[in-house]
Amino acid sequence: MPDLVYTRNKTAFDYLFTIINSNENNCTSADPDNEAAILCGYRVMEYLAPHLTAQPLPTEDGELAVDNYEQALQELRAWYANHQSDYGILEEGY
């Protein structure tokens, strides 16, 4: 996923948004003590959000800065539903 974000390609970003909108638990938690499957959207959201213009989630130093991942995922999904044809991609910073 980081490689797809690195491309700054709208088609790749659209694909990543399909993962964000999926409700399948196909990824593992970043917590090594918790091997439970989680929504891949959480992981993709971490990679993608700092590289979108005018998206609703706070970022700090190029990283997602949220405490409530469930709420943040819902906000990003709603934002994308309204901006899927006109969202911008930040070109600077890798």
What pLDDT does residue 92 have? 76
Average pLDDT for runs of 10 along the chain of length 94: 91 97 90 86 93 94 93 97 95 71
State the burial class of residue 71 (Cβ atoms within 10 Å of its Cβ: 0-12, 13-18, 19+). Answer: exposed
Taking a C-beta distance cutoff of 8 angstroms, is the pair 53, 71 a contact?
A: no
For the chain, counts of helices (H) and of strands (E)? 4, 6
Report DSSP state, residue 92: S
